[in-house]
Amino acid sequence: MSDEQAVIETEKLTRDFDDTRAVDGLTLSIETGTLFGLVGPDGAGKTTTLRLLAGLLDITAGSAAVAGFDLARDPEAVKARIGYMAQRFSLYGELTVTENLSFFADLYDVPRSELAERRERLLDFAGLSPFRTRPAEKLSGGMKKKLALACTLIHEPPILLLDEPTTGVDPVSRREFWDILTELYLEGTTIVVSTPYMDEADRCSRVGLMYEGRMIVSDTPQRIRDSVEGDLIEVQTDDWEAARDAAVDFPGVLEVQTYGETLHLLVDSAEERLSQVRDRLEDEGIPHRSLRRSAPRMEEAFISLVRELERDGARPTQERR
Amino acid sequence: MSIRHLRAVFRKEVLHIFRDRSTFILVLLTPISLLFIMAYALTVDIQQVPVAVLDRDESRLSRRFVHQLTVGEELDLHARVDSLGEIDALLRRGRIKAGLIIRPPFERQLITADGAPLQILIDGTEPESGAFAMDQIARRADAFVGQVLAQEAGLGMTLDGLSSPIQYHVTALYNPALKPRVDMVPGLISLVLGFPALSVALTLAHEREHGTLEQVMVTPVSRAELLIGKMLPYLAVGMVNVVVIPLIALITFDIPFNGSFSLFFLLSIAFLFAMLSMGTLVGVFMRTQPAALALSFLVIFFPGFFMTGIFFPLASMPAEVRLEAMFLPGTHYAVIARSVFLRAAGLAQLWPQSLALLGLGTLFVSVAAFSFRKKLG
């Protein structure tokens, strides 16, 4: 398989639950060795997409192929080649760390001669070596996630599907988890990871934004950030509520986002508007501590795209590139 | 079928049974304690059984006899009545368990050893108390007669070798058969041995609820490997109960065991297999543990109780129920347990039931395996 070849390909992939269309005509192509971040608001269809790719759900319409095998026709062939990690912690709580690893090694037919060595390497890799005899249910939240990842990796799958692996995990464990993912990525593993955290999306090589079951954008983080029209002005003020209410009417302000006591004003052009915003705030008698231009981050791009969609109501018919 | 997959699932499930306290209790301890509770509930020492007496003879001896009845704790003379209608009413309302009717010429016939008539009416809905009351009355009557013969007639004779001068006319109302406990315990065994079926149903639902099944579904394990691997540990645990529970029944309840134990053991395994298949089938369809529990009771335990002929004879049921009962492993096993325990029956008599158990087990587990899909939703 050459590096350019798509290892995950979907064509108008659709899945209905009763009356709801969870995934709606998703067409997607992920190349080998990509670290693909799946983002989108809750209910956008991220989990359904990952479960479809893992062969856990029947496809309503369209098609999908993973590792060259059609998911509808040969889901078991796909299962042997992927590692899937569910959003909820789902290992056996009464089993110890090593027992869980051995269980999955057996189910994945990991060669016995390699089992001990692989297990040790993964324990080491995940920082779980000191806890090998501890029951899984007695591990901390972060360690549980790492054990789940280790179990997912025991058969060395070329493709990883991870559903919000870091949700509910402390920031240090989150960072450690992503260091592991980055290492796997550098080793050439194809990873699809859904996440609610935009800083994590920034660490991916490609990001897909899902909205109402569709892929709205699929691009590199850099290009997605750049796609945000306008610039960002960051305002720090003692009276952020007044500033927020006033800023909506400022000329050239496209959108106002609040981050605690910091306001992010999305404007058509920072050069042009920076001094105007300063003047207007002074006119309104709103004191500000700092006012500076900053680059739009993934977060602003995401919010701005979602707001745009919610405003339009209509679903775009084409992927934006 | 990969032995490695099967063994992995088996080992995991065994560890689960022994490490998860509630599963351990449910699987190993519940059947034993349940047998005790149910068997004792059916056989507790009965005391102060209320009886009523209708004395038509009104003689010296009949009055002494009635007095004799109330000595001791066993019987409670609830009422002396004047008509048969009153006894009937008291029995119907459940106020008394037995009614004793002394007809003339009780005194005269007793003295002449001419077969004095005693009529006893028993509430057959509670055969245990009714039979107990009858037994008590008869015993006292025999003792009384001994005294009377010695004193009144001055013959100094004992009853040995003579037929009792009292003629009993016993009528058990509502349940003429008066099934005794000896018959009940093998039936109870079949009921409590079914418990691992509940565990299998629950463990599948438990894995669904906790999301562990989702993680297993993405592995290449096959449906049959998963289901059989999960059933086998419960079969093993059930086999422990197959040995322990009859032993307890023999020792504690003084039940005869006339048949071959190895045959009983083998056929019990066939029964366990059928029950576990049924539990697996329930577990495959139910998403949550409460649902699995409810359905288990609905399709495994209630019918097991009411429709397998353990407590209520199948012959008395409508044809549709009898047909349905043929699909319950308990129906066949109740026959096996009773026949082996009490009648020393062998495979020559029991082959239809044995085949039925194997057939049902195969049917249920096949339907379960075909219905179970490695998919969510």
Task: Check A107 against B220: CB less than 8 A apart.
Answer: yes
The C-alpha angle with vertex B57 and arms to B54 and B59, in degrees rounded to 5, equals 115
DSSP secondary structure code for residue A316 in this structure: P
Q: Do A106 and B8 lie within an 8 Å CB cutoff? A: yes
pLDDT at B70: 75
Q: Collect all residues with Cβ–Cβ distance below 8 Å to A264 and sequence separation of at least 6.
A: A232, A233, A234, A235, A256, A257, A258, A294, A300
What is the predicted pLDDT for the residue at B94? 76
- DSSP summary character for residue B314: G
Minimal CA–CA distance to A200: which of A29, A38, A28?
A: A38
Q: Which of B191, B190, B201, B189 is nearest to B301 (CA)?
A: B191
Residues of chain B found within 8 Å of residue A94, distances taken between Cβ atoms? 15-16, 19-20
**A229-295 — its CATH code?**
3.30.70.980
| Residue A19: burial class (beta carbons within 10 Å; 0-12, 13-18, 19+) | exposed
B5 touching A (Cβ < 8 Å)? yes
Asked if B220 lies within 8 A of A109 by C-beta distance, the reply is: yes
Q: Which of B14, B219, B222, B374 to mutate against chain A (most A CBs within 10 Å)?
A: B219
pLDDT value, residue A316: 46
Q: What is the pLDDT of residues B121-132, one digit of tens each?
A: 877 666 666 777
What 3-state DSSP class applies to A264? Answer: strand
Decide: A232 and A247 in contact? Cβ < 8 Å. no
Taking the CA of residue B221 and the nearest CA in chain A, the distance in Å comes to 6
CB–CB of B375 and A95 under 8 A? no
Does the distance separating the beta carbons of B375 and A58 come in below 8 Å? yes
pLDDT tens by residue, chain B, 377 residues: 899 999 999 999 999 988 988 888 877 788 878 777 776 666 545 567 788 888 888 888 888 888 887 777 777 888 888 888 888 888 877 788 888 888 888 887 777 766 677 788 877 666 666 777 777 777 777 777 777 766 665 544 444 444 455 666 666 554 444 444 566 677 778 778 888 888 899 999 999 988 899 999 999 999 989 999 999 999 988 888 888 888 877 777 666 777 888 898 999 999 999 999 999 999 999 888 899 888 988 888 888 777 777 766 677 778 888 888 889 998 899 888 878 877 778 888 889 999 999 999 999 999 999 999 888 87
Tell me whether residues A82 and B5 touch, CB distance under 8 A. no
- Mean pLDDT per block of 10 residues along chain A (321 residues) reads 72 92 93 94 92 94 94 92 89 94 95 92 90 93 90 94 90 89 93 91 92 90 84 84 82 82 83 83 83 81 80 52 35
- For domain B49-173, the CATH class is alpha beta
Question: What is the rounded distance in angstroms from the CA atom of residue B79 to the CA atom of residue A81?
Answer: 84
Provide the whole-model pTM. 0.74
Where helices occur in chain B by DSSP H, the ranges are 3-19, 21-24, 30-43, 60-69, 84-92, 106-111, 127-151, 181-192, 195-210, 212-217, 223-253, 261-285, 289-296, 302-306, 319-325, 329-343, 347-371
Please indicate if any CB of chain A lies within 8 Å of the CB of B179: no
Distance from C-alpha of A60 to C-alpha of A23, rounded to nearest angstrom: 9
Residue of B nearest to A161 (CA): B218
Nearest 5°: CA angle at B208, between B205 and B211? 150
Please say whether the beta carbons of A107 and B213 come within 8 A.
Answer: no
Q: Whose structure tokens read 């007496």? A: B53
pLDDT, tens digit (0-9, with 9 covering 90-100), for B19-75: 988 888 877 788 878 777 776 666 545 567 788 888 888 888 888 888 887 777 777
CATH architecture of A6-225: 3-Layer(aba) Sandwich (3.40)
The residue assigned the tokens 């032993």 is B247
Q: Delimit the domains of chain A by residue range.
A: 6-225, 229-295
Euclidean distance between the first and final Cα of chain A, in Å?
26
Q: B-chain residues within 8 Å CB-CB of A88?
A: 210-211, 214
Cα(A213)–Cα(A24) distance, rounded to whole angstroms?
5
Disruptive mutation site among A107, A110, A137, A144 for chain B (greatest number of B CBs within 10 Å): A107
Say if the Cβ atoms of B218 and A56 lie within 8 Å: yes
Give the one of B214, B219, B374 whose C-beta lies nearest to A108's C-beta: B219
Structure tokens at A59: 């496809």
pLDDT confidence of residue B157: 45
Q: Where are the domains of chain B?
A: 3-42+181-371, 49-173
